[in-house]
Amino acid sequence: MDLNHSFYQLTPDSILNALESLGYELTGRFYPLNSVENRVYDIETSNSGRIVVKFYRPGKWTRDEILEEHKFLQELISEEIPVLTPITIEGNTLFEWSGIFFAIWPLRNGRIVEEIAGPDLERVGALLGRIHAVGKRSNSTHRPILDIPSYGLESLNFILDKHLIPNSALAERYKTTALRSFEIFETLVKEYQIPFQRIHGDCHKGNLLVSQEGYSILDFDDFLTGPIVQDFWMLLPLGESDRRNDLFQFLQGYTMFAEFDENWLKLVEPLRIIRYIHYAAWIAKRWEDPSFPSLFPHFGSEEFWLKETVDLESAKKDLEEQSYDDNPNPIETESEMTNKDFFWDWEN
């Protein structure tokens, strides 16, 4: 059975049949929710109200990896931390239909946060501090590690081995920038003995919900082991000097529950670079999914890879300048490339 084909072709009947097999009585009303990696639906039942069902993309996670995510969520909810935990049916939180794993969740009403400001910075910091305090208590057994070999190099090698970057000069610059950034990441981790622990992994504002009850963090699908600042930089504009006070307010809440060393912030730029590369490889790996070409119409073009490389160069430059502050004899950086280096017919 081609599980990917079955996943791409999930029909209303197959979705409803999967839920009916667990005893749900359905009204027939269901709505697809915004999710690219998985298939997620808001479904109305006559015996349990509205629920959310998530069908996991085949091959992304093993059963043990998904169950470890569910276990972490149960640890958090046992500490009264506002996260969503999967519904348990006859002792199980993970089910299977036609070879595809799925889980069922309660519907949480609220609104997505567009900006975190003022007293909310301290509240969100406290929430994340509580999550990290629980994450530090034990180690992950099955989930991935946000390190260079498994998270950075694997993605970079995929891009290069598949010859996704059509211009060889551009590909070489992309590779050089990535490898230098990986080197700095590993140097910083070693120099400042930056700890790795269980974290959310994809903690951006789209996964932060606010309601009358306050803030909650959603979607632990990318839960992994990594440095805690991975959960900081997508929430906060850490690269903007005029937002330093925002970081201070955020840390006021965070450090009530978890420890923090300001040196750990030095990982923000290399983490940003790693994410650029990991994200590009992720799109390429999902390209056979019919939804991806329409979602990312410019992916794979020379213009796309030019922008990616320029973004990497900019982030790497910031990273090099950061390291210069600590190093009286910084290495010499490469000269910036121009459009003539990328487009053979460029004349302007």
Residues with active-site annotation: 202, 219
Residue 111's DSSP bridge partners are: 210
Count how many residues are written for the chain. Answer: 348
Angstrom distance (rounded) from CA 146 to CA 153: 11
Closest CA to 223 of 93, 83, 65: 65
The annotation status of 219 as a binding-site residue, yes or no, is: yes
**Residues 6 or more apart in contact with residue 294 via CB below 8 angstroms:** none
The annotation status of 147 as a binding-site residue, yes or no, is: no
Write the DSSP symbol of residue 336: P
Closest CA to 151 of 171, 178, 131: 178
Write the DSSP symbol of residue 37: S
Write the DSSP symbol of residue 92: B
Max Cα-Cα span within the chain: 69
Closest CA to 230 of 191, 275, 186: 275
CA distances from 247 to 125, 136, 280 (A): 9, 22, 29
Closest CA to 180 of 144, 150, 156: 156
Integer-rounded Cα Rg, in Å, for the chain is 22
The residue ranges of DSSP E strands in 239-335, in sequence order, are none
Binding residues for Mg(2+): 207, 219
Binding residues: 207, 219
